[in-house]
Structure 1
């Protein structure tokens, strides 16, 4: 049975709504998400290592993207189900999986097509944090998780990614009048995660880690990480129609230059994130 829970009372809402707001109806299969997936591979490795997987365990990768986590888990002998709503990305995973024990299914964090208690481990690398209803997503993960399971997820800490994405999403919000999603929470806050997970019998521990994204220049970052990213593909037509795209690009590049560009012009983004582990 799929659970449609309302946001839990007492959960602290996101302090950075420009970042936490998700533009409606993004198809993460648009554009070239593969570049971002490559940037996130070090975090995927940390996530899988922290899970301490055992051969034969059933691992569910929620919001699998191009399959970073799912492939790593399968290579360790786990039986893996990759849950991904974007049809193109499901095809990418299937093409890469080869003979691995890896099944790819269509689903979201709040609607996973697996039976109750069937997962030994649930992993999500910067994915479940985009769930429109956090409580519903956690309720669904908990439904699928076995009684002695563990859930591990990563989420961005306030700072680099929030500041950059905020330039774009803030402008879209000004143009469209779209308000931040009411269900957003601070996924990077262990206390907020405890509020979500404790009712399902989980205890939460967390650690702060960092990954670095490097590009030859600010313009290169815009071209390879933003313009053809699903967020860019979705929002650029809105901004261009409103006559705002050139201004947003200029402010984005200036933000990179002012904060993370060295004397050679190279961009080095030190993005901190939380790796949370919930056990029961």
Structure 2
């Protein structure tokens, strides 16, 4: 959902972390058999597969070629079509979706207003749009260490420029298209064998890490940032056995006309 390739590195560990949120998202959508469900930023297909298992006709929209292949390989005989697209450019007809879902994906769009205009275009007049966004907390704290260093190196204001965690901000994007927004805050647990394992599987080899950490390395800042992240994890979110347990809060937002 951004200008880098989400298929690089290994997104699968993060996708496994996000599966409980995908289940909550799909359950909240109250999907009925035969409805057309569009999963925007489908990743490895968590949401798309769950929706298809409920009897929906599903279109998984995913810009990364490798991840589209992952979804296609696991779809089997489900009524699930995988297409290349982004939140700002969905290759579907106007008013063709009964339900539009996005699990921590639309939040990476570089143009939130354009993305929501596109979601509204694809949504039927009676459609509902549901998405998940991170609330400030543990994940933003860890990512913040990396973003702060990148800002110092590049002199640019890198990172999200839109307050995705704020329901009022989301409503501001949806209200012009006739939607009313409601939301609830939920939490999921992210577990890793150790702080080092968390760094390797959720940061260093994550697509975002593949795209950004080389800049830190070139500037001679990677080891410093890595140590700061590991120290934070070890001091705040590591239990006596050495296992890491992070409780990440998120907003599940529902929009209806």
Q: Which bin holds the TM-score, normalised by the shorter protein?
A: over 0.9
Aligned-partner SS, 1:129: helix
Given the alignment of the two structures, is residue 278 of structure 1 paired with residue 255 of structure 2, yes or no? yes
Cα shift at 1:196? 0.9
- Does the aligned pair in 1 maintain the 2:11–2:206 contact within 8 Å? yes
Q: Which residue of 1 aligns with 2:21?
A: 43
CA contact (8 A) 2:188 2:247 kept: yes
Counterpart in 1 of 2:236? Answer: 259
1:97-246 paired onto structure 2 within 5 Å = 97-180=75-158, 184-246=161-223
SS at match of 2:99: strand
Confirm or deny: 8 A CA contact 2:190 2:245 kept in the other structure.
yes
- Normalising by structure 1, we get a TM-score of 0.89
Other structure's SS at 2:23 match: helix
Q: Which residue of 1 aligns with 2:67?
A: 89
1:184, CA displacement in angstroms? 2.6
Alpha-carbon distance in 2 for matches of 1:255, 1:34: 24
Give the whole-Å Cα distance in 2 for the aligned partners of 1:247 and 1:152. 39
In 2, Cα distance between equivalents of 1:59 and 1:216? 36
Give 1:198 deviation, angstroms: 0.9
1:180, distance to aligned residue in structure 2 (A): 3.7
Tell me, yes or no, if the aligned pair for 1:81 and 1:103 is still in contact at 8 Å.
yes
Q: 1:64 aligns with which of 33, 37, 42?
A: 42
Q: Which runs of 4+ in 1 moved over 2 A?
A: none
Aligned to 1:5: none
Q: Deviations over 1:18-71 (max 9, x none)?
A: xxxx9x732110001011000000000000000000000000000000000000
Paired with 2:131 and 2:234, the residues of 1 have a C-alpha distance of 31
Matches of 1:194 and 1:231 in 2, distance apart? 28
CA contact (8 A) 2:40 2:105 kept: yes
Describe the superposition over 1:125-164 as per-residue Cα deviations: whole angstroms up to 9, x where unpaired.
0000111111110000000000000000000000111001
**In the alignment, is residue 31 of structure 1 matched against residue 19 of structure 2?**
no
- Residue 178 of structure 1 deviates from its aligned partner by 2.0
Q: Which runs of 5+ in 2 are unaligned?
A: none
Deviation sequence 1:90-111 (CA, Å, 0-9, x none)? 1110111111100111100010
Task: Tell me the distance in 1 between the aligned counterparts of 2:111 and 2:161.
Answer: 7
Displacement of 1:264: 2.2
CA deviation after TM superposition for structure 1 residue 179, in Å: 1.7
In 2, the alpha carbon distance for the partners of 1:26 and 1:33 equals 13
